[in-house]
Amino acid sequence: MKPHARLLPDGQRLHLQHGPSDLIVWADGARDHAYRAAMRRFETIIAEVVEELPDLRAMLSPFTNRPKGAVARRMHDACLPLMHVGNLTRMAAVAGSIADEVLAAMTKNADITRAYVNNGGDIALHLTPGTSFKTAIKAHDGSDLGRIEVTGADRIGGIATSGRHGRSLSLGIADSVTVLANSAAEADAAATLVANAVDVPGHPSVSRRAASGVDENSDLGGLPVVVGCGALSASECQQALAFGVRRATSLKTHGCLRTAALFLQGHAVTTGAHILPIQHEIQNVPT
């Protein structure tokens, strides 16, 4: 299958699709130039990643070599600082890295004031001074979880969401975790690790299976991923979220994320500004 590109019916957004990558692109400014640059760059992205896929699917270690491809290097650079935190392959940042790479081609080749590249919920963001971006956080059932609002002055370049209802398998029970970071690749990797940390170890209502038994192509191999989570008490939800907050706070201290919002069965915790949960029991954690 070849890469596919088309303008959406609104005439303002570009749809790029190839294999597992499904991008929605928008730009304000020299849009035509930006979209042509995005299409040119997207033509070879998947092939470049596939060329190094076996290495990218391996667990990171101190002996892992930096890959050759531009997207693969973005994946590597986003994940390497997180290697000590938990089980991680560079695939944790693949969606965000593709979004970052397409956005970089747009900003390099066109004069644009605002732009985003949304790769299935992992968003690369470009905001110049005086501009802003607003978006909603949606649950897996389509209900509203919260709102995000950032400005150019915030210098946030990436938004990503992970959790057990997402596209990838999760080691944790979070319904979703949304992270804001300096890039989409960094947000993607950090959201994965924070979502993995939300847990109630050994709880009988949580069922797990080896990742390879759920998806034979999973980069997580035999690690136990969550395949079901029954109703938890309020205190159990708070305990699980506290584990996630602890990890998010540590990652924020090390500059790996800017803000995180964690959601579990009607409970929400935030670790900073720019994300406002709605219709949840909310706990704000100062960091």
**CATH value of 4-284 in 3.30.710.10, 3.40.50.300, 1.10.10.60, 3.10.520.10:** 3.10.520.10
* pLDDT at residue 280, as a whole number: 52
* pLDDT at residue 37, as a whole number: 98
* pLDDT at residue 267, as a whole number: 94
CA 182 – CA 257 distance, rounded (Å): 7
- Token pair in block for residue 123: 């968003």
* pLDDT at residue 283, as a whole number: 56
* pLDDT at residue 228, as a whole number: 93
Q: Where are the domains of the chain?
A: 4-284
Strands (E), the chain: 4-7, 13-18, 21-29, 112-119, 122-127, 132-138, 144-151, 158-162, 176-181, 206-210, 224-229, 259-264, 267-270, 275-277, 281-284
Report the chain (287 residues): mean pLDDT per 10 consecutive residues.
93 95 97 98 96 94 92 97 88 97 98 97 97 92 91 96 86 95 98 96 93 84 89 96 97 95 95 80 49
* pLDDT at residue 1, as a whole number: 76
pTM for this predicted structure: 0.93
